[in-house]
Chains A and B, each alone.
Chain A
Amino acid sequence: QVTLRESGPALVKPTQTLTLTCTFSGFSFSISGMGVSWMRQSPGKALEWLALIDWDNDKYYSPSLKTRLTISKDASKNQVVLTMTNMDPADTATYYCARRDKLLFNAFDIWGQGTMVTVSS
């Protein structure tokens, strides 16, 4: 069974750096075509894609947030970490990680439950 779980602080202050961890099980980054992506959703808003890391360590970032994001993986721990610098109240959202399987034509087939992050002083 494939599962993903997001973890990180529920509250961060403006200008701080957010670090979120996605811990997954049931699949491996050693499999060609596997990737893990981060998305977010502000209250009442649409989904927004943030970043993706592939099995071969290729990384992709949202053009609008590229300067603030870093994605990395620790395959030995089955974890993917996303950092976002210079947090702002506008970054208040639920952050999701999800598996991307190229066999499913780049669909995100398994999602974590999400973690709510509030940016406030």
Chain B
Amino acid sequence: DIQMTQSPSTLSVSVGDTITITCRASQRINNWLAWYQQKPGNAPKLLIYKASTLETGVTSRFSGSGSGTEFTLTISSLQPDDFATYYCQQGLTFGGGTKVEIK
């Protein structure tokens, strides 16, 4: 089974920062990788699919890239609404999550 490893597990940042979250696959995968945002008490929300395609309605401050075994989610100019936990997903496997918290 493919394992998806996210890093870091926690990010302490400030409003206005630009951050990058990494998701590594245990073996080469196609670019069928998605990113989700989850806020406490809410279901996950799809942000990006096919590694870099922004879901409709998602702000362009979110971007995704990568191929092979390493993928990244970048959030530019972090806003208060962006403080949440982010998950990558490939196939039927989720990463362990990255919590973005206020410094």
Binding site for B on A (CB under 8 A): 37, 39, 46-49, 52, 60, 62-63, 96, 98, 104-109, 111-114
Contact = CB atoms under 8 A, between A and B. Distances in A.
Dominant secondary structure at the B interface: loop
Given A46-B87, A47-B44, A52-B92, A108 B34 contact: yes
B96 A46 contact: yes
B94 to A, nearest CB: 4
A42 B95 CA distance: 15
Contacts of B49: 104-105, 107, 109
A98 B31 CA distance: 21
Dominant secondary structure at the A interface: strand
Contact of B55 (A96, A98, A109): A109
Contact of B46 (A48, A49, A63, A107): A107
A47 B87 contact: yes
Contacts of B50: 104-105, 107
Nearest to B35: A107
A49 B92 contact: yes
A96 B43 contact: yes
Contacts of B92: 37, 49, 52, 60, 62
A105 B32 contact: yes
Given A46-B87, A105-B34, A107-B49, A63 B1 contact: yes
Nearest to B46: A109
B94 A49 contact: yes
Contact of B94 (A47, A104, A112, A113): A47
Q: Lowest 3 CB-CB distances: which A-B pairs, in order?
A: A107-B49, A111-B43, A107-B34
B4 to A, nearest CB: 10
Contacts of B87: 46-47
Nearest to B94: A47
Contacts of A111: 43-45
B69 interface: no
B93 A49 contact: yes
A47 B55 CA distance: 20
Contact of A47 (B42, B53, B97): B97
